[in-house]
Amino acid sequence: MKNGAQYIIDFLLKKEVEMVFGYPGGQILNFYEYLGKSQLKHVLVRHEQAAAHAACGYARATGKPGVCLATSGPGATNLVTGIADAYLDSIPLLAITGQVNLNDIGKDSFQEADITGIVTPVTKHSYLLESLETLPEVLDEAWQVATSGRPGPVLIDVPKNLFLAEGEMTDSRQTLHTRKVKKADRTEELMPEIMEALRKAKQPLILAGGGLVTAGACGLLIKLVEETGIPVVNTLMGKSAYPADQPLALGMVGMHGVAAANLALSSCDLLLCLGTRLSDRITGNRRQFLEEACIIHVDVDAAELQKNVDANYYLQLDARIFLQRLLDEGNFKKNGDIAKWHQQISQWQQDYPLPTTFDGLLKPQEVILEAARQAGSQAVVVTDVGQHQMFVAQYYPIGRCRNFLTSGGLGAMGFGLPAAMGAAFGRPEEDVLLFVGDGGFQMTLQELATIREHNLPVKIIILNNSTLGMIHQWQNVIFKKHYVASDLPALPDFAKLAAAYDIPAVTAAKREELSQVMEFVLKTKGPVIADFRVDGEELVLPFVLPGGKPQDMLGRWQGETHLRSFSRK
Amino acid sequence: MRHTFAVLVENSPGVLSKVAGLFSRRGFNIESLVVSETEDSSTSRMTIVVEGDNRVLEQVGKQLNKQVDIIKVNDITHEETVERQLCLIRVSADQSTRQEVLQITEVFRCRVVDIGRKSLIVEATGDETKMQAIIRSLRPFGIMELVRTGKVAMIRGERNKGK
């Protein structure tokens, strides 16, 4: 005989869950009682939001599902931001929440919230456990749903009395999945046409999305590019899908994409989109996106196909299977056209590089460049959300799959610190570099305590410009310098704050001390905070205004001091 | 345009609100919705009529298809279907008009299911156009109350039930 709590714990252990991130409370105490007696490691966070973000950080860094726990009511609602983040970035996450007794549900009991109702639009599925007998089935199905196809978050809400209820439970029977009617598979029909289109293209381009990372297809992509010579641009989520040091890696496209990458995107005659949902940050105006080019869209989620962009060929398929088929049957030969295309692209790279020398106040970009110079392309890099996130996406060369963790779709400020913490738990042998703004850092900095407690090697690099940088930028460019609520007054002294948590810290504002300070950050064992005071007026450029086309970039094109729209040389 | 979706779902709580949520989130007003158990008591069949942009509705269909507890989504707008809805109409009918009202109900093969001193309740079944015709014909007498079910639909002809 087992009770509900024991069954859940045994199930997680059986699935080789190493640790769960959580925060206790009244309705989940029964679960904690047995958790404390089990082999399953529990990480006590300091706020439930961080439990969800940390579990996501763990999942992003390892590829294994993250698990988070919270109590009913406020505990559960605090998870929601992290759950929504996992939903938009397709991260496998299992959230288990306590709920009031079955008999008390719907009576506005103390700390009661309809959490399954609340999370319905941001989970792949959610369950309110209604009897002990269904527990094995629910757990098994929840696990499958979270990890299969396009992964995502699943929540199981367990009424307090069911943690303690005992019964003989046999492992799960048939699951609901089998009732789905399979749609006709168009792979065989489309593959020859897609390969023919690829062979014929004169200026082909690959758009690498986060789906490649999920599918574990990064190695295959490298092979395909070697064979075909097709250059690669990436989305924000696809940043770690293709090593930045490869000659045909052009970098990120979209709103803050690298100029040469955006130009390649707007000029290609064929775009092979792999594991991307073609978000508005990439396409700008969806209806006018690459009207001339042949678009091939491959995604594991059928609902993403023909959603934002009309593709010439679209195929519901796992990116790894797709790439393997191309490699097996493609017979690609590099032709003269591809060399011309490469030439054109390198010309753009030469003409419109990202700036690498700076003067005046210390710039966020140089801090990132220095970190990259010292930590190298193999480091695990985590960002928060905002200007610094875009600068890291543009400047930090990521050399390995799953080494770039960012809140892409939801863009949740406060993600960085807890996610870096989760990544450090998941990859204990490696240092984790966190880039975070002064705004986002203040949203979840309570987790410094958790990081201190476990002595996690999270290198916290604060790009402190005393403003909400991206808001400031938009108010500067779009709202004609009418700044509202984008300055952050009364900033704490982060070094003193670090001292309060007993974490070593350093503050720097000068270009000359950059290299030495970075060395200190990377050499210090365990956690460390570096507060870099950087220029608050710096803009992330290029900047494609919302709804624009990829080539409609605002920038300072020839060392000019004013912003202007891009015009082709 | 107006679409009819036939959605086969697991007979479990929360499915209805999930389906309704996916439509409402994109700003679609569900015109009619019928849910009931099918021949298999573990599944329910929803017939949803909704008006909106084809492209976006196709998206909604795909999103529905992804849900764990939704087994099958069919857009049967362009299929040949048998459609029925049921309508109860309380219509004014006193001594002077009763005969005429009864004649109309006969023409449309409706049934009179209740008779009061000053009114009748008429039960009508049929497709949308028939419903509208009946309502139009009875309106001059004074419709005091009207309730309609949503539409239920079934595709015509032999169907292999895919297992």
Residues A58, A426 contacting (CB under 8 angstroms): yes
Which of B51, B75, B99 is a domain's end point? B75
The average pLDDT across A474-490 equals 96
Mean pLDDT lowest among A179-183, A236-240, B47-51:
A179-183
- Domain presence at residue B71: yes
> How far, in Å, CA of A137 to CA of A117, rounded?
21
Residues A526, A456 contacting (CB under 8 angstroms): yes
Beta bridge partners of B24: none
The whole-angstrom distance between B17's CA and the closest CA on chain A is 9
For residue B90, give the DSSP letter: E
pLDDT bucket at A272, cuts 50 / 70 / 90: very high
Same domain, B54 and B114: no
* Tokens matching residue A154: 């699943």
Annotated active-site residue A316? The verdict is no
Mutation for A interface: B66, B74, B75, B161, most A CBs within 10 A: B66
Contact A307 B59 (CB under 8 A): yes
- Domain presence at residue B158: no
Contact A125 B21 (CB under 8 A): no
Same domain, B64 and B129: no
Same domain, B69 and B9: yes
The average pLDDT across A131-159 equals 96
Name the helix (H) or strand (E) containing A232. strand A232-234
The confidence score (pLDDT) of residue A335 equals: 78
Q: Chain A residue with minimal CA distance to B57?
A: A307
First-to-last CA distance in chain A?
Answer: 76
Contact A179 B71 (CB under 8 A): yes
> How many structural domains comprise chain B?
2
Mutation for A interface: B7, B10, B15, B68, most A CBs within 10 A: B68
Same domain, B146 and B93: yes
- Domain presence at residue B162: no
Residues 6+ apart with CB under 8 A from A466: A438, A487, A488, A489, A491, A533, A536
The average pLDDT across B154-160 equals 79
Positions of E strands within A291-410: 294-299, 313-316, 380-383, 404-405
The confidence score (pLDDT) of residue A180 equals: 72
The confidence score (pLDDT) of residue A184 equals: 80
The whole-angstrom distance between B10's CA and the closest CA on chain A is 9
Contact A181 B69 (CB under 8 A): no
pLDDT bucket at B159, cuts 50 / 70 / 90: low
Q: B-chain residues within 8 Å CB-CB of A306?
A: 58
Residue in the structure block whose two tokens are 């409370």 = A25
The whole-angstrom distance between B82's CA and the closest CA on chain A is 23
- Domain presence at residue B24: yes
Mean pLDDT of chain A: 95
A216 in helix, strand or coil? Answer: coil
Same domain, B116 and B95: yes
The confidence score (pLDDT) of residue A334 equals: 83
Per-residue HEC secondary structure of A123-148 comes to: CCEEEECCCHHHHHHHHHHHHHHHHC
Same domain, B67 and B13: yes
With 50 as the cut, is the pLDDT of residue B163 above it?
Answer: no
Helix axes A4-14 and A135-147, enclosed angle (nearest 10) = 30
With 80 as the cut, is the pLDDT of residue A156 above it?
Answer: yes
With 80 as the cut, is the pLDDT of residue B102 above it?
Answer: yes
Same domain, B71 and B11: yes
Q: B-chain residues within 8 Å CB-CB of A277?
A: none
The confidence score (pLDDT) of residue A177 equals: 56
Name the helix (H) or strand (E) containing B125. strand B119-126
The confidence score (pLDDT) of residue A15 equals: 97
Domain that holds residue B69: 2-75
Out of A116, A179, A181, whose CB is closest to B14? A116
Counting beta carbons within 10 angstroms of the beta carbon of residue A95, is it exposed (0 to 12), middle (13 to 18) or buried (19 or more)?
A: buried
Q: How many C-beta neighbours within 10 Å does residue B113 have?
A: 10
The average pLDDT across B17-26 equals 87
Beta bridge partners of B73: B7
Q: Is A180 on the interface with B (CB under 8 A)?
A: yes
- Domain presence at residue B139: yes
Same domain, B13 and B30: yes
Same domain, B47 and B109: no
Mean pLDDT lowest among A83-87, A193-197, A318-322, B23-27:
B23-27
Which of B19, B50, B75 is a domain's end point? B75
With 90 as the cut, is the pLDDT of residue A217 above it?
Answer: yes
Give per-residue pLDDT as tens, A527-545.
999 999 999 999 999 999 9
With 50 as the cut, is the pLDDT of residue B144 above it?
Answer: yes
Same domain, B50 and B85: no
Contacts A–B by Cβ distance under 8 A: 42
Q: Alpha carbon of A422 to those of A224, A321, A388, A527, B23: distances in Å?
A: 33, 30, 20, 14, 36
The average pLDDT across A504-524 equals 98
Q: A-chain residues within 8 Å CB-CB of B21?
A: 120-121
Out of B10, B58, B65, whose CB is closest to A176? B10
> How far, in Å, CA of A365 to CA of A468, rounded?
16
- Domain presence at residue B132: yes
The whole-angstrom distance between B150's CA and the closest CA on chain A is 26
Q: A-chain residues within 8 Å CB-CB of B18?
A: 120
Higher pLDDT, A505 or A566: A505
Which of B26, B42, B75 is a domain's end point? B75
The one catalytic residue among A33, A111, A374, A537: A111
Annotated active-site residue A111? The verdict is yes
Q: Chain B residue with minimal CA distance to A179?
A: B71
- Domain presence at residue B14: yes
pLDDT bucket at A176, cuts 50 / 70 / 90: low
The confidence score (pLDDT) of residue A543 equals: 95
The average pLDDT across A155-168 equals 96
The one catalytic residue among A124, A160, A239, A459: A160
The DSSP bridge pattern shows strands A380-383 and A313-316 to be unpaired
The average pLDDT across A350-358 equals 94
Out of A120, A176, A180, whose CB is closest to B18? A120
Same domain, B67 and B121: no
The whole-angstrom distance between A142's CA and the closest CA on chain B is 10
Same domain, B95 and B145: yes
The dihedral over CA atoms of A357, A359, A365, A369, expressed in degrees to the nearest 10, equals: 50
Annotated active-site residue A48? The verdict is yes
Q: What's B92's domain CATH number?
A: 3.30.70.1150
The average pLDDT across B59-72 equals 90
Contact A125 B62 (CB under 8 A): no
Per-residue HEC secondary structure of A421-462 comes to: HHHHHHCCCCCEEEEEEHHHHHHHHHHHHHHHHCCCCEEEEE
Residues 6+ apart with CB under 8 A from B68: A124, A125, A141, A145, A176, A177
The confidence score (pLDDT) of residue B1 equals: 87
Strands lying side by side in the sheet with A313-316: A249-252, A232-234, A204-208, A270-274, A294-299, A313-316
Annotated active-site residue A160? The verdict is yes
With 60 as the cut, is the pLDDT of residue A178 above it?
Answer: no
The confidence score (pLDDT) of residue B160 equals: 55
Domains of chain A: 2-179 (3.40.50.970), 187-351 (3.40.50.1220), 364-535 (3.40.50.970)
- Domain presence at residue B116: yes
The confidence score (pLDDT) of residue A412 equals: 98
Q: What's B30's domain CATH number?
A: 3.30.70.260
